[in-house]
Amino acid sequence: MDFWQEIFIALRRNKLRTFLTGLAISWGIFILIVLLAAGNGLMTAVTDEFSSRSTNTYTLYGGFTSKPYKGHNENRWIHFTDKDIRLLENNFPHVEQVSPRINTSGNAIYNDRLNPISLNGVRPVFAKTNGVEMIMGRFIDELDEKNNEKVVVIDQTTQEQLFDFEEDPIGKLIFVNNIAYKVIGVWEGNPNSGGGEAYMPFSTLKKITNQNDYFMLNFTTYDLDTKEANEAFETYLRTQLANLHEFDPTDESSIYISSTMLNYLETNKILNTLQVFIWIIGIAMLISGIVGVSNIMRITVKERTNEIGIRKAIGAKSRSILASIVVESMIITTLFGYIGMWLGMVVADLSGNIISKAQEGNMVTINIVPSIDISIVLMATALLIVCGVLAGFFPARNAVKIKPIEAMNYR
């Protein structure tokens, strides 16, 4: 009880010293947390940007042959049919669902309003392969596909043109080329086109337009994580398709194969580097925080050498002086460390909100929202506190070792 009273008197009477020591500690922890949060935010932003796209999407385009092969002339157009879909889905263990793409265009009509629309027949997997972000309602599902449902997913531009602001478009019927389609969902739209891109079940559009040739196939793969696996897959794919369509497997222009996987691997490499970089910055910050805190503790103790000498001369034991200095520095570092941590988190949170608000309504956004793992915050704070206390302990131990007379005369 007396011990604590002594300490609180010392802290209260030395307000400036207490405050300056505390400020150094608060500032160190504050900066550390804000920086880690910013780094983390950048990391999250970049990761989000890439994860909205499927990571392993293949796109196949039909091309023109450049060599004669097995009695066929060169310059023959290769196009995909249901046979290709069956081949891909049955013979390739790594391939998930295949979505072909066919399209037709016209005007979408709702009540007295009209807007040009491009109807794309796709299968449900398309949402995944092309990263279709829904705003309301749902995307096409297997049942729509199976039952040739006349349903449509419109984009935001179309919704704004056809419907009133408050009107719920879901379940409403719109007309395209005299056929009624029920709106089941709205997606955010492609910012790079003028808008009007809509999706409907592949089976339905195929039946309506009677198309059997598909210029493009999309599919996702799984378990193809490495560059080597993807290259092997691509070679096998080319041979199989060459066999089916009877073109020279070495003829690169017959079909075009593009994979997001290799892009993704490349991006991943950058992300990993970025992560390492952020950690290095974080650790460097932590170290400079420790140095700062340690230094101020060291100076504080140095400043008290006289006092330590006096206390020893009048009969204080080294242990009791040491205990009071260590407890004092513990109180200061913990209290101000907590304040710095709290402020850092508040600032990280507030700036996160402000950035989110500022980005609202932008078509292309990279949201660098500062955010931070609470366990990292606590660990960093605890580490700084421990270092602060240790940094106070060692010079204090040296100071109590000095002979009282020298300590008293210390300037």
Partner 1 sequence: MIRLENINKTYFGAQPLHVLKGINLNVEDGEMVSIMGASGSGKSTLLNILGILDNYDTGDYYLNDKLVKDLTENQAAEMRNQLIGFIFQSFNLIPFKTAMENVALPLYYQNVNRKKRNQLALEYLERFGLKEWADHYPNELSGGQKQRVSMARALVTQPKIILADEPTGALDSKTSAEVMQILREVNQSGITMVIVTHERGIALRTNKIIHLKDGVIESIETNNPDQIDFNQEIK
Interface residues with partner 1 (CB under 8 A) are 2, 5-6, 9-10, 13-14, 306-307, 309-320, 403-405, 408
CB 107 within 8 A of CB 158: no
Q: Which is nearer to partner 1, 71 or 315 (CB)?
A: 315
Distance, in Å, from the CA atom of 201 to the CA atom of 140, rounded to the nearest integer, reads 6
Q: Nearer to partner 1 by C-beta: 14 or 105?
A: 14
- Separation between Cα atoms, residue 181 and residue 107, nearest integer Å: 12
Phi, psi for residue 81 in degrees, rounded to 5? -135, -175
Structure tokens of 141? 């599902």
Give the chain's end-to-end CA distance (angstroms, integer).
Answer: 33
Rank residues 5 and 375 by Cβ distance to partner 1 and give the closer one: 5
Residue 87 half-sphere exposure, CB side, CA atoms within 13 Å?
Answer: 16
Nearer to partner 1, 20 or 43 (CB): 20
- What is the smallest separation between the CB atom of 336 and partner 1, expressed in angstroms? 19
Q: Which long-range contacts (CB under 8 A, 24 or more apart) does 73-82 make?
A: 76/247, 78/245, 78/247, 78/254, 78/255, 79/213, 79/214, 79/215, 80/213, 80/214, 80/215, 80/216, 80/217, 81/212, 81/213, 81/214, 82/212
Q: How far apart are CA 330 and CA 37, in angstroms?
A: 26
Cα 409 to Cα 123: distance, rounded to the nearest angstrom = 87
Closer residue to partner 1, CB minimum distance, 244 or 408: 408
> Residue 174 corresponds to which tokens in the numbers above?
């719109």
**Min separation Cβ 330 and partner 1, Å:** 19
From CA 324, how far away is CA 263, in angstroms rounded? 60
Cβ at position 385, least distance to partner 1 in Å: 25
Angle, CA 221 vertex, CA 216 and CA 224 arms, to 5°: 130
Closest approach of Cβ 307 to partner 1, in Å?
Answer: 6
Instruction: Provide the residue type at 190 as one letter.
Output: N
The nearest distance, CB 407 to partner 1, in angstroms, is: 10
CB 273 to partner 1: min, Å: 53
Min dist. Cβ of residue 24 to partner 1 (A): 20
Minimum Å gap between C-beta 392 and partner 1 is 18
Cα angle vertex 253, ends 248, 255, to 5°?
80
Minimal CA–CA distance to 109: which of 184, 196, 168, 194? 196
Instruction: Specify the residue, 116 or 404, whose C-beta has the smaller distance to partner 1.
Output: 404
Write phi, then psi, for 136 (nearest 5 degrees).
Answer: -145, 165
Q: How far is the CB of 405 from partner 1 (least distance, A)?
A: 5
DSSP 8-class letter at 80: B
Which tokens in the block code for residue 33? 């947390």
By beta-carbon proximity to partner 1, the closer residue of 246 and 303 is 303
3-state SS, residue 292: helix
- In the complex with partner 1, the residue whose CB is nearer, 246 or 406, is 406
99 or 324: CB nearest partner 1: 324
